[in-house]
Amino acid sequence: MANQDEQEIRDSVRRRYASLARQRDQRDAPASCCPSGSTDMSGRFLAASGCGAYSPDELDGIPKEASNFSLGCGNPTAVAGLAHGETVLDLGSGGGLDCFLAARAVGPAGRVIGLDMTPEMVGLARENARQAGLENVEFRLGTMERMPVESNSVDVILSNCVINLSPDKDAVFREAWRVLKPGGRLCVSDIVTLRQLPDEVRADMALWASCVAGALHPDEYLAKLEAVGFEDAAVQMESSSGQSCCCSCAEEPSAGDWPAALASMRVTAFKPAE
């Protein structure tokens, strides 16, 4: 993919999520990651914030500005096996929900870093952290392709429906490998496609920003992880037939059958111990 195309994708994604952060900061109706209004994709997707992935007990005590603002497709913190004292990095941390859940799990001796490329999201997450009174969480502005994180410094990487947004996933996985400690693990939820998407879908900037156009096939996803050096990858398909937790496909005759190719997947993989 040409650098110009990559930058166009990043700009489209950044604009979309900046708009969502401003909506939430202004206490508007619950935000959706889905396209609306200006394209022929309007109405094709329905938001399903959180998608039932978080239990009431998990959300208890989390600021509503964060608990009501999930743009993910799963709950990676629930299956990451987080332990007290671990350092956790959340890629595409948004309003901070997964970071706050991780902060509870790792305790005061642990540390959580949220990374997001959208200044508005970072500002929103920092305010949510202030309201939650959490001191072991910080939020950094940066991209997944060039993480502002020290090498070999992180025990666990989380991500929730974000890696699909990157136009250079090879760089994301190389960076994930770099910042993980030997023996560290990756635990992510993401949108995948079970068959090839039409070229017009892949080229639609609005569908990049809504977790669709950049989705990989699960086999390609795992191949990219293995090419970097990750081992013992385990995959669990969490939803299919067009039902992703980030955006659920509504019935629309003009959409054709491609929305049924979408699914959400949870994958865990490990950086070998030295």
CB 241 within 8 A of CB 260: yes
Which of 40-49, 66-75, 213-222 reaches the highest mean pLDDT?
213-222
Tell which wins on pLDDT, 209 or 248. Answer: 209
Whether 133 shows a pLDDT value over 60: the answer reads: yes
Quickly state the pLDDT bin for 175 (edges 50, 70, 90): very high
pLDDT of amino acid 29: 42
3-class DSSP state for residue 123? Answer: helix
pLDDT of 240 > 80? The answer is no
Nearest-Å Rg of the Cα atoms of the chain is 17
Helices marked H in 80-168 — which ranges?
A: 97-106, 119-132
Closest listed residue to residue 266, CA positions, set 229, 240, 228, 227? 240
**Domains defined for the chain, CATH in brackets:** 3-270 (3.40.50.150)
Tens of pLDDT, residue by residue over 248-265, are 443 333 445 777 888 999
pLDDT at 55: 83
Residue-wise pLDDT tens digits, 85-103:
999 999 999 999 999 999 9
Q: Which residues contact 28 (CB under 8 A, 6 or more apart)?
A: none
> Per residue in 76-86, pLDDT tens?
998 899 999 99
Can you say whether residue 211 is alpha, beta or left, with left for phi > 0 and alpha for psi between -120 and 50 degrees?
Answer: left
Mean pLDDT rounded to a whole number for the chain: 82
pLDDT in tens, 106-132: 999 999 999 999 999 999 999 999 988
Residue 245 has pLDDT above 50, yes or no: no
Q: How many angstroms separate the CA atoms of 249 and 226, rounded? A: 31
Q: What would the pLDDT profile of 26-61 be if each residue is shown by its tens digit? A: 554 444 444 333 233 322 232 333 445 788 888 888
